[in-house]
Amino acid sequence: MADALPTSPLARPFPELKPMAGVRFGATAAGIRYAGRTDLVMAEFTPGTTVAGVFTRSKCPGAPVDWCRAALAGGVARALVVNAGNANVFTGRAGYEATQANAADAARLTQCAASEVFLASTGVIGEVLPYRKISDALPGLYATLSDDGWEGAARGIMTTDTFPKGAVRETTIAGTTVRIQGIAKGSGMIAPDMATMLAFIATDAVLPAPVLQTLLSRGTEKSFNCTTVDSDTSTSDMVLLFATGRAGNPAITDAHDPALADFIQALDSLLLELALLVVRDGEGATKMMHIRVTGATSDESAKRVAMAIANSPLVKTAIAGEDANWGRVVMAVGKSGEPANRDTLSVGIGGTWIARNGTVVAGYDETPVVAHMKGQEIEIDVDLGLANGIGQAWTCDLTHGYIDINGSYRS
């Protein structure tokens, strides 16, 4: 299925991800669901690697999410196993047993405790994971792990994704150069309420798990959690951040340490890049939308208004049709349930204010807006005119491609 889809017109080339000391990746074809492609990925981390994670807020999370939540308590990671094609969700006791078995497999290979193994699965919901295929494939896969397996891993975790996704940042902590790089997958069932989809990020920085967790949680809120493809929150969302400590920077014990300023900026920027790559591969996407909301009663309120606009099928289909139908933006503001006042509301598209304080700008000339709508990157501005809260959201348009993909994904 994934192979049959044309590459998103919004795709970005995979960046050069250089080897990172303490991290080895590999991918293989375990035949879980798809034929003729890799679908099983493994990573090994050097002893002492710390880990942080954020997960879906779904009330029906997959077995691997349960597993990782429990494993995260230890704060250390030695291995990661990810499969595509089957999400191991809603599989009852069989799902739990599958996670136990595969964690034990990876623990045996990497000579660690099972609780140091992290698991993720993505694909169809409700079918029992053929975990023995994974058990059988892991020893051979482990033997191929290498320093330069990042892109192969990014490809191995794809489902309806049409291009592999990666990002890298180099920064410093207290004068020591450190790197952060990661991969992500995701295309549909994207409406993060915590994290979204799958993303695996590693840094060679020395950072204790609690600090790492704080940075990841904060960064996710401003990146993945500001994006949506179709308003449908996955049962399998997960972002994991591993720190190998190989860069040897001075020890940091407090997430608020000023020495982390550059690192935080780099991490946040990388998280946003990965999140936007997922939006760029939104099922059927032809255009990106960036919605900025100002003048709200709080930042939280602004973000909810931005997400209401981003999740509106009528706004998304208008964008797909290159129609500057700003009335639908007004509708979405109105339905958000957030404080808003029609008579102080302003709406702009592509930098042109179309309506100010509840009515169309006198002499509004649609020409520059029409030109903007023909582009791939659509900017929507909403000023609520109430207070100083700001927020933003990113999404893609809603097209025939989405219907094509989702009317037939499973079968």
Active-site residues: which are they? Answer: 196
Interacting residue with its own copies among 7, 341, 376, 388 (CB under 8 A): 341
Angle among Cα 101, 102, 103 to the nearest 5 degrees reads 95
Binding to its own copies, residues 309-338 (CB under 8 A): 311-314, 317-318, 320-321, 323, 325-328, 330-338
Q: Is 242 or 402 the residue whose CB approaches its own copies more closely?
A: 402
Using the 8-state DSSP alphabet, how is residue 74 labeled?
G
The single residue among 60, 113, 251, 261 that binds its own copies, judged by CB under 8 A, is 60
Six-digit token pair at 73? 């308590």
Quick one: 384 exposed, middle or buried, by C-beta within 10 A (0-12, 13-18, 19+)? Answer: buried
Distance of closest approach, residue 338 Cβ to its own copies, in angstroms: 7
Cβ of residue 411: shortest distance to its own copies, in angstroms? 5
In the complex, minimum distance from the CB of residue 91 to its own copies, in angstroms, rounded to a whole number: 6
Residue whose C-alpha is closest to residue 282's, from 179, 136, 395, 404: 395
- Looking at residues 70 to 99 of the shown chain, list those that interact with its own copies (rule: CB under 8 A): 87, 89-94
Nearer to its own copies, 44 or 381 (CB): 381
CB atoms < 10 A from the CB of 291, how many?
Answer: 25
Which of the residues 226 through 265 are near its own copies (CB under 8 A)? Answer: 230-235
* Nearest residue (CB) to its own copies, 191 versus 207: 191
Binder among 254, 360, 365, 376 for its own copies (CB under 8 A): 360
Among 178, 189, 197, 380, binds its own copies (CB under 8 A): 189
- Interacting residue with its own copies among 9, 47, 126, 248 (CB under 8 A): 126
DSSP 8-state symbol, 342 = G
Shortest CB 200 distance to its own copies, Å: 22
What mask, x for binding its own copies by CB under 8 A, covers residues 369 to 408?
A: -----------------------------xxx-xx--xxx
C-alpha–C-alpha distance, residues 323 and 364, integer Å: 16
Within 10 A of 404 (CB to CB), how many other CB atoms are there? Answer: 13
Count of residues engaged in binding its own copies, rule: CB under 8 A: 72
d(C-alpha 292, C-alpha 279), whole Å:
16
Q: Distance between CA atoms of 390 and 384, rounded to whole angstroms?
A: 10
Smallest gap from Cβ 372 to its own copies, in A, equals 15
**Which residues, 28 to 57, sit near its own copies by CB under 8 A?**
56-57
In 3D space, the residue among 323, 342, 353 whose CA is nearest the CA of residue 384 turns out to be: 342
Q: Are 88 and 77 in contact (CB under 8 A)?
A: no
Q: Which residues contact 350 (CB under 8 A, 6 or more apart)?
A: 368, 369, 371, 372, 373, 375, 378, 379
Residue with tokens 């100010």: 356
245 φ/ψ sector (left φ>0, alpha ψ -120 to 50, else beta): left
61 vs 245 by CB, closer to its own copies: 61
User: Smallest Cα–Cα separation from 83: which of 182, 185, 165?
Assistant: 185
User: Of 104-112, 121-129, 158-166, 218-226, which part binds its own copies (CB under 8 A)?
Assistant: 121-129
Instruction: Pick from 1, 124, 174, 387 the residue near its own copies by CB under 8 A.
Output: 124
Distances (CA, A) of 49 to 243, 245, 271: 5, 7, 20
The nearest distance, CB 272 to its own copies, in angstroms, is 23
Q: Which is nearer to its own copies, 94 or 113 (CB)?
A: 94
Q: Which stretch binds its own copies (CB under 8 A): 76-84, 112-120, 256-264, 350-358?
A: 350-358
Which is nearer to its own copies, 232 or 365 (by Cβ)? 232
Beta carbon of residue 3, minimum distance to its own copies (angstroms, whole number) = 19
Cβ of residue 397: shortest distance to its own copies, in angstroms?
9
d(CA 162, CA 282): 9
CB atoms within 10 A of CB 4: 8
CB 134 within 8 A of CB 40: yes
**Which window, 17-25, 110-118, 185-193, 270-278, contacts its own copies (CB under 8 A)?**
185-193
- Contact with its own copies (CB under 8 A): which of 355, 378, 380, 382? 355
